[in-house]
Amino acid sequence: MMIFNPDSDPALASQLTRLLDAQAGVLEQRRFPDGESYLRIHSDCTDQDCVILCNLFHPDERTLRLLFLADTLRECGARSVGLVTPYLAYMRQDKRFQPGECVSSRPFAKLLSSTFDYLVTMDPHLHRYDSLDEIYTIPSRVVQAAPLIAQWIQQRVDQPLLIGPDSESEQWVAHVAKLAGAPFQVLQKERRGDYDVSVSLPDLDSAAERTPVLVDDIISSGRTMLETIKHLQAAGLPRAVAIGVHGIFAGDAYAQLTEVADVVTTACIPHLSNQIDIAAPLAEAVRELLTDRDSH
């Protein structure tokens, strides 16, 4: 097996390479003066099961090169080409809210499905879709962050009260709470624009003597977390812990959040808030998919 990492996540790439007992594929990448991508594979991938680790945050900057790499691996004789993307982009755009809007989760799924043999990701934003199979036509494995987050909370937080800031977060927060043996509540959110969000008041009676731990899948503008924390601060609760599976931190979201909370993310997107390791379950998922593939 060979692992290629066209992105800048050498830490996760080397963990996966070690856990999968694979070789690190060698790439040469640069931009032509006109901005187009140059790509060359320096490893012999003939008859190899090739895995591309490509974190698809800021997907528009990465996707084209990813497709070029997958295609070139096949032309160079790869036996299979799989994608590991801890953050699967465009999943939040799962409905046409206004006439003519692109439901980008669908064309993005078509593109990746036509390129890869399988897909491994961690907690994609499944809100209006029940599973990736509704839009992806290739085999996929969704690795759950809940057990990893629950373990982190058990080891680091005394008397946690888990809070999901919106109904979509219930799937994560309820699972984490069950595994961590902690109480939880889920708030209601209204989003009027990218930076215009309001969140309902938490039930403060059950919060006494507890450390609020917010859990959500994605932290992007940070507004969802910030609005929730405002309520907790107004009620005089202790400093919150804000946990995101995928810390995108658009603009100054991280700086704003760290003023009011301890911010923790999984290593899905490389960032200084990463405290929760994800390599082992991702490697396991790749192994399972390749075993399934070989047995068919």
| Chain positions contacting ligand R5P, by CB under 6 A | 92, 166, 168-169, 197, 216-224
Q: Between the CA atoms of 265, 269, 274 and 277, what dihedral angle is there, to the nearest 10 degrees?
A: 90
CA distance 112 to 119: 9
Minimum CB distance to ligand R5P, residue 259 (Å):
15
CA 87, 88, 89, 93 torsion-angle sign: negative
Nearer Cβ to ligand R5P (218/290): 218
Three-state DSSP class for 257? helix
| Closest CB to ligand R5P among residues 192, 296 | 192
Beta-bridged to residue 160, according to DSSP, are 211
Instruction: Please state, in angstroms and rounded to a whole number, the distance separating the CA atoms of residues 124 and 168.
Output: 12
Instruction: Select 117 or 217, whichever has its Cβ closest to ligand R5P.
Output: 217
Q: How far is the CB of 229 from ligand R5P (least distance, A)?
A: 12
User: Tokens 């050498």 label which residue?
Assistant: 10
Strand-pairing partners, residue 156, are none
Q: Which is nearer to ligand R5P, 49 or 168 (CB)?
A: 168
Nearer to ligand R5P, 38 or 195 (CB): 195
184-186 and 160-164 as β-strands: parallel, antiparallel, unpaired? parallel
User: Which residues lie below 8 Å from residue 216, measured CB to CB, with a gap of 6+?
Assistant: 164, 165, 166, 169, 172, 173, 224, 225, 243, 244, 245
Nearer Cβ to ligand R5P, position 115 or 256?
Answer: 256
Task: Select 242 or 289, whichever has its Cβ closest to ligand R5P.
Answer: 242
Minimal distance in Å, beta carbon 248 to ligand R5P? 8
CB of 56 to ligand R5P, least distance (A): 15
In terms of C-beta density within 10 A (0-12 exposed, 13-18 middle, 19 or more buried), how is residue 286 classed? buried
Q: In sequence order, what E strands does 220-278 have? A: 240-247, 261-266, 274-276
Residue 200 gets which letter from DSSP?
A: P
- Beta carbon of residue 220, minimum distance to ligand R5P (angstroms, whole number): 4
SS3 58: coil
Rounded to an integer, what distance in angstroms lies between the CA atom of residue 217 and that of residue 167? 12
Instruction: Quote the least distance from Cβ 265 to ligand R5P, whole Å.
Output: 12
To ligand R5P, the closest distance from the beta carbon of 87 in angstroms equals 12
Cβ closest to ligand R5P, residue 20 vs residue 197: 197
**Minimum distance from residue 238 beta carbon to ligand R5P (Å):** 22
